[in-house]
Amino acid sequence: MEKKRLFFGVGTALVTPFCEDGIDFDTLGRLLDLQAAAGVGGVVVAGTTGEAPVLSDRERDALLSFTLDRVGDKLTVIMGTGCADTRRTLALSRRAAALGAHGLLVVTPYYNRGTREGVRTHFLSVAEAVSAPVLAYNVPSRTGCDLSLADYGVILSHENVVGIKEAKEDAQHFFALCTAFGENKRIYTGSDAFLLPSLAMGGDGVISVVSAIAPRTVQAITALFAEHPAKARALFAQIAPLVGLLFKETSPSPVKEALRQMGFGDGACRLPLSAPTAGLCEELRAEISRLTRFKIS
């Protein structure tokens, strides 16, 4: 069976820029144009990096519609629709599919600590309810829920679950996923720091935070890796310090601050997130300056 193609390479996890009136669509448009010009495979809106839990339903609709209108003919547009409540996840998923999302990113239910069978049924219910392809998203450091290889075997048995975003940096686990499911399903890492190992083990790419800042470079790394791994490693070495800084404090505050320094919005997050510490802001400023000098974009 041929893989259902969402994208290969880079899907950028977009921030949601805010202003006093809600979403700063001027900044969002410029961020989307940057991604389209860089030739990444897709963008994810209303994911973890997009501060999904603090978006109203009206903002979610506007965010997705604006993104589709701006770049929907150039990039795969994936909407985060997962939450702690299966009924609400189903409602959000149906709404995003109706508005035209090219794919849905569904995170494991958080806080509720669902049973093994309940979590599996959560994903299968979404896959059965919508026609838009579904990516299962595993990020146990945030959710307290971790998908095992057996869980994935059940969840990925549904033809409409076309792949996964695995944010756990566990080489043995990731290799097992690629070996068991990589022939028919898309296997993306959700960790920028794990990009090179994931490609070496057969992954299809990354849903990336650092590509919000350096999309051309991250796209080039994934494109080069198969035939020119040394060049890919050299490119990754250029952005590795930035990757560390972007996760030194709770994401997406650092990436929003970095984008602010580059002229994209005011960097504001919604509570309970807050601005990075002054020390991290200075580190980001120095690193953005270095990357600019070396023409990393």
Beta bridge partners of 42: 11, 76
CB 103 within 8 A of CB 133: yes
Of residues 152, 165, 188, 256, which has the active-site annotation? 165
Q: Is it true that the peptide bond before 17 is cis, omega within 30 degrees of 0?
A: no
Q: Which domains does the chain have, with CATH numbers?
A: 9-225 (3.20.20.70)
292 token code pair? 């600019």
Each residue's pLDDT expressed in tens, for the chain with a length of 297 residues? 456 568 889 999 999 999 999 999 999 999 999 999 999 999 999 999 999 999 999 999 999 999 999 999 999 999 999 999 999 999 999 999 999 999 999 999 999 989 999 999 999 999 999 999 999 999 999 999 999 999 999 999 999 999 999 999 999 999 999 999 999 999 999 999 999 999 999 999 999 999 999 999 999 999 999 999 999 999 999 999 999 999 999 999 999 999 999 999 999 999 999 999 999 999 999 999 999 988 889
Amino acid 159: pLDDT: 96
Q: Measured between alpha carbons, how far is 129 from 94 in angstroms, rounded to an integer? A: 7
* Annotation says 188 is catalytic: no
Q: Measured between alpha carbons, how far is 169 from 285 in angstroms, rounded to an integer? A: 27
Q: If you compute the radius of gyration of the chain from its CA atoms, what whole number of angstroms results?
A: 18
Relative to beta strand 134-138, strand 76-80 is unpaired
CB 156 within 8 A of CB 164: yes
* Annotation says 165 is catalytic: yes
CB 108 within 8 A of CB 137: yes
Tell me the three state secondary structure of residue 109. coil
Q: Measured between alpha carbons, how far is 30 from 118 in angstroms, rounded to an integer? A: 41
Cα–Cα distances (Å) from 22 to 64, 129, 248, in that order, read 14, 30, 27
Tell me the three state secondary structure of residue 263. coil
Of residues 74, 110, 137, 152, which has the active-site annotation? 137
